[in-house]
Amino acid sequence: MAEYKIRAVTLLLKTLEDPLTVIEQYAAKALEASDKASEETGYPVETTRIVIEGLGIEEWAEKALRVSELVDNYHILVSMGAIRLEEAYSKFEKYTLIVENDIFSSIIMPKDLSREYAIKASEIIHKLTDRDPSLATRLGINVYGEPLATPYYPLASPGANEKGIAVALTYPNYLSSCYRRNGLEGLENCVIEAYSVAERAGRIASSQLEAEFLGVDLSVAPWMQETSLGLVELVAGVRMPEPGFLTGIHKVNSILQKVASAKKTIGYNEVQLPVAEDLKLKARVSELETTARDLARFSCVCLAGLDLAVVPASVNGVAGLILDTAVCSRVKNRPLGVRIVPVEDVEPGDKVWLDKFGETPVISI
């Protein structure tokens, strides 16, 4: 068996049905579908996820506590999908209730690259972290202005699809071993091999749930010892953030996108560098040679450079980072996400505890 896992089997739904009804209808079936996919492929499914997009903050806030109870009972992850910035800002207290109950979402920025909008997004994040820094980990700021169908939280969205299955992988260390053995050609062959397993899992789950198989997001996403940074530094031949590091990201992305163009894929299909999810990345940013500005600029060549980064609180500073990432999004002509955790009374080098992610180092803006 290969050294990787199926990161997520995600059911993407666009519906105006009550979220409790949807979860009660699909949660057990989705878990069964994941189990069957794991059993038939021989590869474990790490998480089962449901995105229920369509209803607004008012409806979700009314049901948030009960949704949280169902999430705990079924051991699944649930997202309300994409919502607009103005709704989240004007209904902040109710939105907070949703986030506090372990429900994920993404906030869609307007297309206009306005500092006013960036300030509003930054204020939302700061108000959440004032209550609990971990709350900001359940919120992604989509700086492009349009949702993109993907299985990856918190930006997961069904897009234009009404009901479908999307799959993601956890495989950075496997890809690193492939690169060490056979270089870029070996890396490409292993991406293709892992895709075939993920595709089979997705089609099995789709059949079980009577949903369309939408595709695999081939993005290289870390989880603690499974390190995306390790793969990129290996391919680049230099440490982050030394000159040449972005070349490593570009080389890996080029392979992912080459494979994605010939397969049934969905979403981003790029390298992800979420600080709190990657132990090697945590260690590297602890050296204080990398700033949040660096991570924002990485977004011009990878999906999530500025992701799960903890910084000292600064409404204007975070707004500027959101704008810089939005520019990268416009240059690439595709959605990008920002997930940042601004915390009061911390300095670069301090550590902040984030639920599910553990101690995460603070870096400067």
Cα–Cα distance for residue pair 317/89, rounded to 1 Å: 19
pLDDT recorded at residue 123: 98
pLDDT recorded at residue 5: 96
Cα–Cα distance for residue pair 65/51, rounded to 1 Å: 17
| Predicted TM-score of the model (pTM) | 0.94
Low-confidence ranges of the chain (pLDDT < 50): none
Q: Identify the structural domains of the chain with CATH numbers, from first to last.
A: 1-237+244-274 (3.20.70.20)
pLDDT recorded at residue 257: 94
pLDDT recorded at residue 14: 96
pLDDT recorded at residue 232: 97
SS3 362: strand
pLDDT recorded at residue 61: 97
Cα–Cα distance for residue pair 66/292, rounded to 1 Å: 37
CB 71 within 8 A of CB 104: no
DSSP for 99-158? HHTTEEEEEEPPSS--HHHHHHHHHHHHHHHHH-GGGGGGEEEE-SSS---BS-TTT-B-
pLDDT recorded at residue 283: 94
pLDDT recorded at residue 331: 86
Cα–Cα distance for residue pair 150/215, rounded to 1 Å: 9
pLDDT recorded at residue 301: 76
